[in-house]
């Protein structure tokens, strides 16, 4: 059984912390505030690099150029970038209030649409998520809140718990509150419009750039009070996302349990360990690690301990060729 693991790419963020080290047990490159770990990415500015095996050192782009039929399946146009970006977020502080552009207007703003799913792997007792608007809020009241620095009271906030999962569609106003460790599985996009940043400054000591006009064009003002899906650690199989862009399923394993996740010549998939660790082939995949299972390969996992994995598949590929996406 062959699969691909990649070297993580770490990003310093003003809201970052040290939970990649403390919770995921990773060796970080420095003591800076590491907020993001890009684990699967195919963009101009950042490329995942295979971390072991015969293809060690190859980028994800090179892998797809040379072995697209094996990795993704027949018919893949090699000009297309890998359709997903998988990252971890260590939110020790609150993120900015932001929105990603819907597909219908993204190109007019020279941006990329971005729908993403958050899975809460760990959180503090008082942690939460801003997603959508409170009922009755319209554009006028939202702009009033911006002008009066009272925008928080117009945004929908929910408490977060370990195992929560929520799909954040393009156009949904959102912010991850402090204390969450989140696995984000998203469209391959890096377009974010900040509408409010809580009055803070960035790593350079200056206020971070806001994109109020762009944000107001993108926000879905009919997106009222969505709720997270509360998952458990007992059901063997739990569907999390079934969208036109990707599907995510959570699998829970008891000690000494074996699961067949895919057969040979079935669509490629991404496996993400969100609890415990698993055996895959002759290797272990530890908490926080992600791997890519090629189209040609079958995949069977087992675990000596209680473990949970997310399996992402049914990628919705772009309909027309495009160059490698820029950051």
Burial category of 326 from C-beta neighbours within 10 Å (exposed 0-12, middle 13-18, buried 19 and up): exposed
pLDDT at residue 322 in the model: 46
Which of 116, 88, 118 has the alpha carbon at shortest distance from 25?
Answer: 88
Its pTM surpasses 0.85: yes
CA distance 139 to 279: 50
Fold of 9-68+83-230: Jelly Rolls (2.60.120)
CA distance 248 to 98: 24
Structure tokens at 215: 């944000």
How confident is the model at residue 316, as a pLDDT? 61
Q: How far apart are CA 288 and CA 119, in angstroms?
A: 12
Closest CA to 243 of 317, 315, 165: 315
Q: Find how far residue 111's CA is from the centre of its chain.
A: 18
In three-state secondary structure terms, 31 is: coil
**Is the confidence at residue 153, as pLDDT, over 90?**
yes
What's the pLDDT tens digit per position in 251-296? 999 999 999 999 999 999 999 999 999 999 889 999 999 999 999 9
Q: Which ranges of the chain would DSSP assign to H, the alpha helix?
A: 19-22, 60-71, 103-106, 139-147, 212-218
Instruction: Enter the DSSP assignment of 152.
Output: G
> Could you tell me if residue 163 is left (phi over 0), alpha (psi between -120 and 50 degrees) or otherwise beta?
left
CATH for 237-313, options being 3.30.530.20, 2.60.40.10, 3.40.50.300, 2.60.120.10 = 2.60.120.10
Q: Which residues contact 78 (CB under 8 A, 6 or more apart)?
A: 64, 65, 68
Residues in the chain: 327
Measured distance CA(17)–CA(152) in Å, rounded: 23
pLDDT, position 213: 97
Using alpha carbons, select from 62, 127, 119 the residue that is nearest to residue 272: 119
Residue 317 is predicted with a pLDDT of 55
pLDDT(323) > 70: no
Q: Comparing C-alpha atoms, which of 89, 241, 113, 220 is closest to residue 167? A: 241
The radius of gyration of the chain's CA atoms, rounded to the nearest angstrom, is 20
Can you give the pLDDT at residue 326? 61
DSSP class of residue 120? E
Looking at 31-40, 151-160, 180-189, 305-314, which range is the least confident one?
Answer: 31-40
pLDDT in tens, 193-205: 999 999 999 989 9
| 3-state secondary structure (DSSP) of residue 246 | coil
Q: How far apart are CA 79 and CA 68, in angstroms?
A: 10
Model confidence at 188, pLDDT cuts 50, 70, 90, reads very high
Locate CATH 2.60.120.10 in the chain: 9-68+83-230, 237-313
Contacts of 224 (CB under 8 A, 6+ apart): 132, 133, 134, 135, 137, 156
Q: Are 19 and 58 in contact (CB under 8 A)?
A: no
Number of H helices, E strands in the chain: 5, 21
Please report the pLDDT score of residue 319 as a whole number.
44
Q: Which two tokens stand for residue 76?
A: 């893949």
Q: Reduced to 3 states, what is the DSSP secondary structure of residue 239?
A: strand
The angle at the Cα of 162, spanning 231 to 191, to the nearest 5 degrees, equals 95
pLDDT per residue over 157-180, tens digit each? 999 999 999 999 999 999 999 999
Q: What are phi and psi of 35, to 5 degrees?
A: -105, -25
∠ CA 212-216-220, rounded to 5°:
140
């Amino acid at each position: 059984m062959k699969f691909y693991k990649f070297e993580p790419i770490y990003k310093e963020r003003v809201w970052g912390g040290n939970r990649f080290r403390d919770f995921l047990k990773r060796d970080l490159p420095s003591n800076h505030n590491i907020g993001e770990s890009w684990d699967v990415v195919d963009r101009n500015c950042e490329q995942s690099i295979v971390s072991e095996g015969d293809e060690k050192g190859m980028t994800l782009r090179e892998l797809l150029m040379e072995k697209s039929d094996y990795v993704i399946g027949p018919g893949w146009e090699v000009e297309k970038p890998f359709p997903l970006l998988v990252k971890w977020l260590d939110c020790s502080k609150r993120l900015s209030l932001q929105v990603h552009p819907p597909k219908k207007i993204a190109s007019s703003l020279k941006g990329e649409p971005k729908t993403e799913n958050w899975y809460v792997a760990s959180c503090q007792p008082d942690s939460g998520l801003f997603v959508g608007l409170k009922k009755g809020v319209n554009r006028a009241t939202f702009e009033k809140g911006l002008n009066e620095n009272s925008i928080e009271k117009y945004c929908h906030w929910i408490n977060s718990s370990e195992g929560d999962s929520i799909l954040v569609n393009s156009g949904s106003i959102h912010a991850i509150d402090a204390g969450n460790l989140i696995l984000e599985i998203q469209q391959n996009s890096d377009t974010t419009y900040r509408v409010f940043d809580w009055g803070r400054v960035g790593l350079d000591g200056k206020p971070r750039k806001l994109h109020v006009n762009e944000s107001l064009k993108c926000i879905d003002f009919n997106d009222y009070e969505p709720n997270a899906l509360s998952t458990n650690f007992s059901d063997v199989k739990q569907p999390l996302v079934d969208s036109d862009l990707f599907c995510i399923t959570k699998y829970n394993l008891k000690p000494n349990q074996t699961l067949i996740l895919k057969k040979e010549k079935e669509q490629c998939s991404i496996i993400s360990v969100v609890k415990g660790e698993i055996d895959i082939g002759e290797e272990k995949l530890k908490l926080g690690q992600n791997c890519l299972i090629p189209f040609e390969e079958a995949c069977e996992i087992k675990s000596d301990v209680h473990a949970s994995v997310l399996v992402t598949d049914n990628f919705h590929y772009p309909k027309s060729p495009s160059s490698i996406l820029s950051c």
